[in-house]
Copies of this chain bind each other. A is one copy, B any other.
């Protein structure tokens, strides 16, 4: 077991000082050609690589990004991670992951854990419980400690940070407009409770599209479901709820669902009720995941481009980190400056498949 070799060992072995070794390896030209060659050869032979931890301590930056998300077994979130990872890697950063599991306390603990030096900045999506409590002190504290945050998808206004959001509103408007333009008269909406910002926005988009076409929204055509129904063990309940909804609204000929699970389940129910898709009822979902692609019929959907979101978020964060570096050098105007936080909106895309005409 040959432990990694350190500068100290090389120095001792070659009978020079540690600083000479350090300089030789960084190609400092104040080192004599001969010694440099010798040291570099030796280092190469023993496969010397500087220790990241030591560098982190010295430079007071870790070159790693903390990702904090509610759930990882989830197509959208994993796609975002992939986007972050790609950019992070390109720009020399690592990625460390914390899962909140939709719990407020796990989010706080994870954040504090990582904030103690392990990471340079966060990219996160807020847990449902946090959104419900509306307790954002941990974000504020982290930011006030000089650790930048980039929020994506589930964001809140009152935090000063960069944000990357999906254009939920316009995405929904487009989805519903598509349904209207293909002849739907009674368009239903299956959505979540309002405290999840995206659910709210998508609902607003639905209403907006109706309004633009002078269609009066009917409360009975809107089904608000508890998120817990999305859990695997409650799938049957979900199906029953939707079935009941269909029974109460006989004339539904178009359906917009705020996620793909709701959409696919609704399609199941529709078939059960002998409705043909898309002839009798057209369906559009949100989020282009595995289900949408492989459903029967395949599901027309609003794609969120999760990977692009991740890439953007990573760029925003790293840009800010490296900007902070420069400012540290100058060491001034730290007070009251406009931090210039950006909110990037990633446009959605309507992907037409077989569940619409």
Contact = CB atoms under 8 A, between A and B. Distances in A.
> Which of A49, A78, A294 has the most C-beta atoms of chain B within 10 angstroms of its own C-beta?
A294
Interface in A82-135: 82, 85, 89, 94-99, 110, 112-118
A296 interface: yes
Nearest to A50: B116
Contact of A116 (B49, B78, B79, B290): B49
A236 to B, nearest CB: 12
Given A73-B75, A289-B290, A290-B290, A1 B334 contact: yes
B116 A52 contact: yes
B2 A144 contact: yes
A95 B4 CA distance: 22
Interface stretch (A21-29, A54-62, A204-212, A251-259): A54-62
A234 B132 CA distance: 42
B53 A293 contact: no
A305 interface: no
A210 to B, nearest CB: 29
A290 B271 CA distance: 20
A232 B89 CA distance: 24
Contacts of A293: 232, 235
Nearest to A61: B53
A74 interface: yes
B53 A62 contact: yes
A75 B75 CA distance: 8
Nearest to A112: B49
Contact of A79 (B73, B75, B235): B73
B49 A3 contact: no
A72 interface: yes
A320 interface: no
Query: For the complex formed by this chain, how many copies does it contain in all?
Result: 2
B117 A51 contact: yes
A290 to B, nearest CB: 5
Given A144-B2, A290-B290, A57 B49 contact: no
A297 to B, nearest CB: 10
A146 interface: yes
Given A114-B94, A117-B54, A290-B289, A1 B85 contact: no
A11 interface: no
A146 B57 contact: no
Contact of A146 (B1, B268, B289): B1
A320 to B, nearest CB: 13
B334 A145 contact: no
Interface of A: 1-4, 47, 49-54, 56-57, 62, 64, 72-75, 78-79, 81-82, 85, 89, 94-99, 110, 112-118, 141, 144-146, 232, 235, 261, 264-265, 268, 271, 289-291, 293-296, 334
8 contacts: A50-B116, A53-B117, A54-B57, A57-B57, A73-B82, A82-B99, A271-B296, A294-B295
Given A4-B116, A4-B145, A89-B110, 11 more contacts: A1-B146, A49-B116, A53-B62, A53-B117, A78-B78, A85-B99, A95-B98, A96-B96, A268-B296, A289-B290, A296-B296
